[in-house]
Amino acid sequence: MNDETISGTKYAGGTRLLHWVSAIMIVAMIPIGVIMQQEDMQRSTQDLLFIMHKNGGVIVFALVVLRLMWRAASPAPPLPADMPGWQVKAASGVQWGLYAMLLVMAVSGYVRVRAGGFPVEMLDAINAPALVPRSDALAETAQAIHSNARFVLVALILVHVGAALRHAVARDGVFARIWPPVGRG
Ligand code: HEM
């Protein structure tokens, strides 16, 4: 923990950078996941998109776990004292919902691929064993979860981004807690 998190009004520099790197990756993962399944695509382009999506998903999983551990260890900076209680609760609910849905997406994606008998290049490169058995039924269930959970994730992202923009426009100090991604701002 550094001075910024103890006495300041901003998240620590590392937390802000982690937030924005994860945000960019997650926002890219969703359209890539949809586009890579188009049937009329060149094979080499499709392979590249699958590799980006699967391995990007593993990295997002690692970043979310890192963020959760970090969050447990260092408290968030205070919110403005005059912020209505319902907004504080809603913001916290949406944030925990986002963490939960990102874990659901990453785990269901992993299970879908491994149970289907497909590679996850990054993990294969370090000889990580498949953590689930080869099973078409399991792959199908995980695929259904992965495909449906995206709607919940997208809804939460829209609420989160909408609220963040409102705070940014209002300049009430809430958006400034997580901005800029690097430096003190
Ligand atoms: C937080 C991370 C992730 C997000 C936000 C995400 C998002 C998505 C989305 C939106 C789709 C399109 C679903 C559809 O069109 O029905 C998709 C498809 C897919 N994702 Fe992910 N994904 C994530 C992680 C992963 C991981 C870690 C893997 C595998 C290691 C993976 C493998 C796949 C596969 C194989 C598909 C194609 C659907 C299929 O044929 O099963 N995803 N993903």
pLDDT in tens, 94-152: 999 999 999 999 999 999 999 999 999 999 999 999 999 999 999 999 999 999 999 99
Poorest-pLDDT segment among 12-16, 61-65, 117-121, 151-155: 12-16
Please give the number of the atom of ligand 1 that sits closest to the Cα of 37: 37
How many domains is the chain partitioned into structurally? Answer: 1
CB of residue 109 inside a 6 A radius of ligand 1: yes
CATH of the domain at 40: 1.20.950
pLDDT in tens, 30-42: 999 999 999 999 9
For residue 11, what are the domain limits? 3-177
Among the listed residues 143, 137, 122, the one whose alpha carbon sits nearest the alpha carbon of residue 33: 143
List all residues 6 or more positions away from 107 whose beta carbon is below 8 Å from its beta carbon.
61
CB of residue 156 inside a 6 A radius of ligand 1: no
Residue 184: what pLDDT? 79
- Asked, for residue 184, whether it belongs to a domain, the answer is no
- Asked, for residue 168, whether it belongs to a domain, the answer is yes
pTM for the full model?
0.94
**pLDDT tier at 16, thresholds 50, 70, 90:** very high
- Asked, for residue 18, whether it belongs to a domain, the answer is yes
Ligand 1 mean position, distance from CA 165 (Å) = 27
- Asked, for residue 183, whether it belongs to a domain, the answer is no
- Asked, for residue 142, whether it belongs to a domain, the answer is yes
CB of residue 58 inside a 6 A radius of ligand 1: yes
- Asked, for residue 185, whether it belongs to a domain, the answer is no
Q: Are 28 and 56 in contact (CB under 8 A)?
A: yes
Ligand 1 mean position, distance from CA 45 (Å) = 16
Among the listed residues 92, 101, 131, the one whose alpha carbon sits nearest the alpha carbon of residue 114: 131
Task: Please state, in angstroms and rounded to a whole number, the distance separating the CA atoms of residues 79 and 81.
Answer: 6
Q: Which residue's alpha carbon is at the smallest distance from atom 18 of ligand 1?
A: 33
- Asked, for residue 182, whether it belongs to a domain, the answer is no
Residue 169 has pLDDT above 80, yes or no: yes
List all residues 6 or more positions away from 91 whose beta carbon is below 8 Å from its beta carbon.
79, 163
Residue 50 has pLDDT above 60, yes or no: yes
Residue 158 has pLDDT above 50, yes or no: yes
Q: Are 171 and 10 in contact (CB under 8 A)?
A: no
3-state SS assignment for residue 40: coil
What is the end-to-end Cα distance of the chain in Å, rounded?
A: 19
Task: Please state, in angstroms and rounded to a whole number, the distance separating the CA atoms of residues 95 and 107.
Answer: 18
Of all helices (H) and strands (E), which one includes residue 165?
Answer: helix 136-170
Residue with tokens 């907004």: 87
- Asked, for residue 28, whether it belongs to a domain, the answer is yes
